[in-house]
Structure 1
Amino acid sequence: MVDLLECRKELDGIDRQIVELFEKRMEICGHVAESKLASGKAVYDGERERQKLEAVEAMAHGDFNRTAVTELFSQMMTISRRYQYKLLEEGGKSEDLGFRRVEGLPAKGARIVYQGVEGAYSHGAALQYFGEEADVYHVEHFGDAMEEVQAGRADFAVLPIENSSAGAVVDLYDILTRYSNSIVAETFLPVNHALLGTAEAEEEQIKTVYSHPQALMQSSEYLNSHRDWKQISMENTAVAARKVLEDGDPTQAAVASEIAGRLYGLKVLKPSIQNNKGNTTRFVILAREQVYRRDAGKISICFELPHRSGTLYNILGHFIFNHVNMVMIESRPIPGRNWEYRFFVDIEGNLEDAAVKNALKGIGAEALNLRILGNY
């Protein structure tokens, strides 16, 4: 029978040799980084790595070992690249990320555009961030708002990107890639649905309720407790409130925000009827210029990857190695390229942080493309 303790003793000896050889390898990688710093040569050489992996695979015996050795050396080369990026950054070879630091956002006197209609939650988010007296106006679609900013007709756009219950607003992720506007801030607005009726209406009179399908769903527990009420979907919660006002029918009600209620002169028949009392929507503030505040602490990026096994794993490793915390990842299909995806990632940090710059530099070199959507 094999002696387990003896096997472990042999493994300890082998591991000690592996660590010594690994450290020797990393020392040589440091010399490689010095050479590349002097010559300006790129750290990532895909063809060289492919040849190296083929060579070490051929040295191994058996299918399992060949696959395992390929994975092992792939990881070692990934670690080597990260180490070289770090040394190059320390050596002053830092790339301009294209963003300019500012002390604050020029919000005074700014024009702000939001998607939807007056009284919608986007309207509320704009007023929450910029103040009740802000110069705000609305457009119909997300793309219209982005166009207003890019064309200079608006200074900022306020758009929803994520809901704590419903998840990502996927349409916005797609639109973010079509425009050069950058995210400069964010604001969180609690979703607080109220049952709104005409001035003379009472809860007992209601027969028909109008709202956006999501608002109806988010208030289902309360609404379904009134089984005789007819629920009708509308394109927007504020549109539903406006319909109740225009019809003037005390048997009609809308599920919308209290902001919409005040705007359209409707009575709150029942406040806070949503199922999840902590439901919140995150809105992003976008501007035409690529700027970030000194105190910015979150960075949004997007990138595409070669359609090969392990590419996402290797890219995310840049965050791990540089101790950068990833707080969100979302993927979206790339139009016209079946089964290929664009990834959206939020990380903690500031564009002036050395670890962040090192991670972004590595991703930029190895992804098909990388775009920084904003630091805020």
Structure 2
Amino acid sequence: MTELSVLRGELDVIDKQIVELYEKRMAVCEKVAEYKIQTGKKVFDKEREDAKIAALTALTDSDFNSHAIEELFRQIMSISRKRQYQLLAREGVIGRLPFTQVESIEKENIRVVFQGVEGAYTQAAMKKYFGDRVNSFAVAKWRDALEAISEGMADFAVLPIENSTAGFVSEIYDLLLKYDDYIVGEQIIRIEHTLLGLPGTKLSDIKTVCSHEQGLMQCEEFLNEHRDWQQVAVDNTAMAAKKVAKEQDASQAAIASAFAGEVFGLEVLKEHISTTKGNSTRFIIVSNQRIFEKDANKISICFETPHRSGALYHILSHFIYNNLNMSKIESRPIPERNWEYRFFVDVEGNLNDSAVKNALRGITEEAANVKILGNYCGGKI
């Protein structure tokens, strides 16, 4: 039986040869990149790569080796493309992305639309981002907000995109693809539910409590201490506060924000009633202009991948090879295309960064229906 150390020695020799051949291959790929720079040819040639893979797998003597060679050379070709993108960027062949840098997002003499009613958390996020003197108006649906900026009725829209406990708002992602609008900022608001009532109301007066269904759920432990209260679900927490203020019934209370209480003249009867502490919602600031602040540090993109093994990995590897940190990924099924998905990804970076340009160039060539949703400053609470 051959000694293990002898076998490992043979592997070391082979591995050294593989490294030498790999570097020799990459040197040739750099010459290919030079040719493409001069001729304007695209880096990614799917037909050529598929034909090459078919020829290589035909040289193997088993199904196992055939799959292994395909996986190996898919990876080698992917690395080769990434090197070619770097060389194209160095030579200035990769042009500017279709976004304009601005010093900062305009916050004066503008009009902002938000979805919901007065007192909603969305309005609170708007005021925190733009200030108290903002000129604003409310609409009933998220779609209405995006149509308002698309039609020029507003300069910016404020929309919820993600809650720390309930997850992302899938419909917002779908709407961002439907409209030619872009994320230019974000604001995170801590969701701190309070119990609101008419001034002078005592807990012993309450018989009914109303809120959004999620608000009732998020305050379950508090409500379990008052099982005699009837729970009524309404469209949103601000509407619950408005209902209590309008009906002037001291036996009614609302679960909503302290901000909603201020708007509708209600008194905070009990603070910090949420079961989960630290619950926050992330809101996005949307414009119909392709702009980004010079200090923007977060990029959101959407893309679809070919329906084959390893396709998502190869797309995401553009972030790896360009040393970009991916902070989030979500998937949504593509309507009328069973078992196919589009992906929404957040990465750290600025559209002026060469590494970002390299990654986006590669993704744009290799994925389908790529859209840069925006480059903006990550929000803080």
TM-score range, shorter chain: over 0.9
Distance 1:96 1:345 in 2: 21
Partner of 1:320, secondary structure, is helix
The residue that corresponds to 1:238 in the other structure is 238
> Aligned partners of 1:308 and 1:10: how far apart in 2?
36
Correspondence for 1:279: 279
Counterpart residue number, 2:79: 79
Q: CA deviation at 1:322?
A: 0.5
Cα deviation for residue 15 of structure 1 reads 0.6
Displacement, 1:179? 0.8
Separation in 1 of the partners of 2:61 and 2:205? 81
Partner Cα distance (1:70, 1:94) in 2: 29
The more displaced of 335-344 and 35-44 is 335-344
SS in 2 for 1:159: strand
Residue 186 of structure 2 aligns with an amino acid whose one-letter code is E
- Aligned position for 1:351: 351
Q: After TM superposition, give the deviation of residue 341 of structure 1 in Å.
A: 1.0
- Equivalent-residue separation in structure 2 for 1:62 and 1:123 (angstroms): 63
Distance in 2, Cα, partners of 1:220 & 1:90: 58
Q: Partner letter of residue 146 of structure 1? A: L
Q: Secondary structure at the match of 2:94?
A: coil
Q: Secondary structure at the match of 1:177?
A: helix
Count matched residues: 376
- Any stretches of 5+ residues in structure 1 without a counterpart? none
Partner of 2:140: 140
**2:2 and 2:317 mapped to 1: Cα distance?**
38
Could you tell me how far apart the structure 1 residues matched to 2:36 and 2:331 are? Answer: 34
**Distance in 2 between the 1:161 and 1:253 partners?**
28
The question of 1:374 aligning with 2:374 is answered: yes
After superposition, residues 189-208 of structure 1 pair within 5 angstroms as 189-208=189-208
Alignment correspondent of 2:379? none
- What is the deviation of 1:64? 0.7
Identity %: 54
Task: Give the match for residue 130 of structure 1.
Answer: 130
Superposed, which structure 2 residues align to 1:320-335 within 5 Å? 320-335=320-335
Q: TM-score, with normalisation over the residues of structure 1?
A: 0.99
The aligned counterpart of 2:46 is: 46
Q: CA deviation at 1:96?
A: 3.1
Shift of 1:95: 2.6
For residue 137 of structure 2, give the secondary structure of its aligned residue in structure 1.
strand
Structure 2 unmatched ranges of 5 or more: 377-381
Give the CA deviation at 1:200. 2.7
- Secondary structure of 1:11 counterpart: helix
Question: Which string of whole-angstrom CA distances, capped at 9 and with x for unpartnered residues, describes residues 225-251 of structure 1?
Answer: 211122111111011111111221111
Following superposition of structure 1 onto structure 2, how do residues 1-376 of structure 1 map, counting pairs within 5 Å?
1-376=1-376
4+ residue segments displaced more than 3 Å: none
Secondary structure at 1:330 match in 2? strand
In 2, Cα distance between the equivalents of 1:203 and 1:103?
51
CA distance in 2, matches of 1:221, 1:23: 63
The AA in structure 2 aligned to 1:115 is Q
Give the match's secondary structure for 1:59.
coil
